Amino acid sequence: MIEKVLIANRGEIAVRVMRACREMGIETVAVHSTADANAMHVRLADESVCIGPPAVKDSYLNMSAILSAAAISNADAIHPGYGFLSENADFADMVEEHGITFIGPTADHIRVMGDKITAKATVKAAGIPVVPGSDGAVSDPVEARRVAEEIGLPVIIKAAAGGGGRGMRVATTMEELEEALSVASSEAAAMFGSGAVYVEKFLGKPRHIEIQILADTHGNVVHLGERDCSLQRRHQKVLEEAPSPALNASQRNEIGEIARAAIQKLGYRSTGTIEFLYEDGGFYFIEMNTRLQVEHPVTEMICGLDLVREMIRVASGSPLSFTQDEVRFSGHAIECRINAEHPETFMPSPGKVGDYYTPGGLGVRVDSALYSGYTVPPYYDSLIAKLIVHGANRNECLMRLRRALSEYVIDGMDTSIPLHQRLMSEPDFVNGDYDIHWLERLLGL
């Protein structure tokens, strides 16, 4: 049994994981950089250990410091949250080699899915539809041209090791293709330490739809439906909702079942998300995330389940606490990512929180580590809060979300709340009629 969990993360997700631990009677250990000594995740934990200076490479990415913290605090498991070391297969290996349970998938699954080329080949073999494109890495312009001729322009060149919406380049003509290939490859080498890139068809107006998966070590796999994450800026998600306004129940069951069967074949464990682009009724795999996602609460709200609790149960060897037949989707949920940044220029705006008031009431959830008097440090991601709202249907959800956004007070810094308020009155958004490029068109980017 897991009795003490070290959370190798910070901010809202560290608090989120601690909440699940506390409900389960599990002790928690926070780790923090010197910049985070007064952070909420440190205050809420039973114990805390300083793991280094502010820079992430010296603290939240410092594997040996985190393992030492686990050793001195006698933690028997580590939850990595998202970002930082959550998809680092070497870290998962090291944790297990030290006799500590990694609350997540096996290092091998993280490794396979961490390289987008092997991931694509692996899921394709397991029966998942993929975006048409090259079979593996492409470095030769002649080969790139042959692929582009076969699948048709425009194409997108993507880094095998890419992530966070970076390392992608679109080519609309054969002339652009050659340059895009060499630029993408050298950028990928500089950013991700590997210049391997591949070519796939660039879809013009797709939605981003992802399937949430949960699997235990007894061969049970369930899917928890989809999330629609098409509202993006620079390939990064801004707002997510479930269910997708674009799918009906039979489409949901069909793609959910395909994902479930593939995951079962792969012998995967813990939470995972299979991301698809969806266009003209077809689903095309883009990548799999082998961790808890930022947007997991929308799924929790419509399923009434605690994904972190299930992750901890699975890591302790217990079977999932429910079967696919017992999964019930109820109502509609939307998450607004609230960042400390200017709502129009998107310039980061870290600073000291003055007055702070969170919305509440029926169907409203705020996942955040903010408090009045807290200073948001400039070193980390600008996500400061997630406002998640549930309603009996999409319309009620939108009414409630407008109300909740109007209540939220975060003084002392610019936030993206005004951007979300603007979205709530856009007819296309209200009608659920948007693709992955819609937000950038709206913002004139």
Just list the catalytic residues: 291
- Provide, rounded to whole angstroms, the least separation between the CB of residue 154 and ligand ADP: 9
Judged by CB under 6 A, which of 127, 136, 152, 165 binds ligand ADP? 165
**Binding of ligand ADP by 185 (CB under 6 A):** no
User: Which residue type does 34 have?
Assistant: T
Q: Give the list of residues 6+ apart from residue 113 with CB closer than 8 angstroms, or none.
A: 87, 119, 122, 272, 287, 288, 289, 290
**Binding characters for ligand ADP, 192-231, by CB under 6 A (x = yes):** --------xxxx--x-x-----------------------
Q: Does residue number 232 form part of the binding site for ligand ADP (CB under 6 A)?
A: yes
Min dist. Cβ of residue 155 to ligand ADP (A)? 8
Question: For ligand ADP, which is the closer residue by CB, 67 or 117?
Answer: 117
Among 22, 43, 124, 235, binds ligand ADP (CB under 6 A): 235
Measured CA to CA, the distance from residue 286 to residue 288 in angstroms comes to: 7
Q: Is 286 in the site for ligand ADP (CB under 6 A)?
A: yes
Question: Cβ 161 to ligand ADP, closest distance in Å?
Answer: 10
Count of residues that bind ligand ADP according to CB under 6 A: 21
Sketch the per residue contact string, 125 through 144, with ligand ADP: x for CB under 6 A, - otherwise. Answer: ------x-------------
225 CB-near residues (< 8 Å, 6+ apart): 211, 212, 242, 243, 252, 256, 299, 302, 303, 327, 329
Task: Pick one of 127, 136, 152, 164: the residue that binds ligand ADP (CB under 6 A).
Answer: 164
Pairing of the two strands 332-339 and 197-201: unpaired
Measured from the Cβ of residue 354, the count of other Cβ atoms closer than 10 Å reads 12
Least Å distance, CB 236 to ligand ADP, is 8
Site for ligand ADP contains 317 (CB under 6 A): no
398, containing H or E segment = helix 394-407
Query: Looking at 147, 213, 389, 436, which residue binds ligand ADP (CB under 6 A)?
Result: 436
- CB 237 to ligand ADP: min, Å: 8
Distances (CA, A) of 137 to 155, 198, 443: 14, 5, 34
Looking at the Cβ atoms of 27 and 187, the one nearer to ligand ADP is: 187
| Nearer residue to ligand ADP within complex by CB, 76 or 143 | 143
Nearest approach, Cβ of 229 to ligand ADP (angstroms)?
7
**Can residue 239 be called a binding residue for ligand ADP (CB under 6 A)?**
no
Query: Which CB atom, from 42 or from 336, has the smaller least distance to ligand ADP?
Result: 336
Q: What are phi and psi of 367, to 5 degrees?
A: -105, 110
- What lies within 8 Å, CB to CB, of 325 at 6+ separation is none
Tokens of 362: 């029926």
- b/e map of 267-292 (b: 16 or more CB within 10 Å)? ebbbbbbbbbbbbeeebbbbbbbbbb
Q: Which helix (H) or strand (E) holds 148?
A: helix 141-151
Calculate the alpha carbon distances from 227 to 248, 300, 377, 426 in Å: 13, 11, 30, 20
Q: What is the DSSP letter of 32?
A: E
| Residues lying near ligand ADP in the complex (CB under 6 A) | 131, 156, 162-166, 168, 200-203, 206, 208, 232, 235, 275, 277, 286-287, 436
